[in-house]
Homo-oligomer: A and B are copies of this chain.
Amino acid sequence: MSRRPLCFSPALFAPFTAPSAARLSARLSAALATVFVTVLASAPLAAKELPPKPSVADVIKASQGAEWRALDPASTLYLELPAGRVVIELAPVFAPHHVENIRLLVREGYFDGLAVLRAQDNFVVQWGDPDEDRPRALKTAKARLAGEFTIPLTNDRGFTRLPDRDGHAPQVGHSNGFPSARDPKTGQAWLAHCYGTVGVGRDVGADSGNGSALYAVIGQAPRQLDRNITVVGRVVDGMPLLSVMPRGPGAMGFYDDPAQRVAIRSVKLAADVPEEGRSRLEVMRTDSASFRAVAEAQRNRGGPWTKVAAGHVDLCNVPIPVRRQGS
């Protein structure tokens, strides 16, 4: 298990007839060998099949150690649920004040004993304080913060642009591991809402959030939220613990019955957890050659399974590989 990449990002593989997984992989290797031969010999078969190409898994396997980075413990959250740990990488470059406030909330123990309040299918899972009448008091954290919906793109020094066009922004790509977008005309950059993106719930006012109510995207990228909400990070491990939450029966997936809520054991900063208790994860550097190869593997797959290469990959469909350290 620890040797398997932990990508929860879009499929490394395509669906195929279920019972034949083992037989298929054998057949694939055989087919690849055949293609190599026939391509060289330019036999008719070569015309029928796309040339073989490294898959996302192949690229990960061939990647160099320097193309991976460890998570910064000061910007890594552990959301501890009864079913296990969700690891969230925070994005201080894009939301410095909210990330700092979340650090304060966490160190106050604010989230400990709170709950997952909402699971709306194909949208978000949201957690925070269920008690509307007696909300948990804040000690050191701020109650309201100005929204950090965009930043000057000059503040984002880690941007690697994707060649693929996007309907929502003139430029999209990845900023030090986070799917992001930018508009040179306005000079703004922002984090995009993709599967696993973590944002700050807010009320009508742009300054009505403070990081005490957070959500993670569990469905199709709700890009209409981009630039309307402060994005503070993304889930890098444990996404399935959130995505399988029973959907709430109430409007917007809220759990009408408190008994339906999943309790939060604790939320901690990795920096506050003893070394031996930390999740040792590495994320592939999004400015690396291997990451560009991952995007290309998703953009244009090789034969023999693939009949038509897409020629395009959507921002939120680019896998961002995550693995255990030393794997």
Contacts and interface: CB of A to CB of B under 8 A. Distances in A.
Interface of A: 1, 4, 8-21, 24, 27-28, 31, 117-118, 120-124, 126, 128-132, 135, 147, 149, 164-168, 194-196, 199, 201-204, 206, 208-209, 213, 215, 219-229, 239-240, 243-247, 249, 251-252, 254, 298-299, 301, 304-308, 310-314, 316-317
Given A18-B129, A24-B204, A220-B221, 12 more contacts: A11-B124, A14-B228, A15-B126, A18-B130, A20-B203, A27-B204, A164-B167, A195-B219, A220-B220, A224-B310, A227-B307, A240-B246
Contact of A307 (B27, B135, B149): B149
A148 B123 CA distance: 31
Nearest to A116: B18
19 contacts: A4-B251, A8-B122, A14-B224, A17-B201, A18-B129, A18-B201, A18-B213, A20-B203, A121-B239, A164-B167, A166-B167, A168-B310, A194-B220, A220-B220, A228-B305, A243-B247, A244-B244, A244-B247, A314-B314
A249 B2 CA distance: 12
Given A208-B17, A228-B14, A247-B244, A24 B203 contact: yes
Contact of A9 (B24, B122, B208): B122
A181 B14 CA distance: 20
Nearest to A297: B224
A4 B247 CA distance: 15
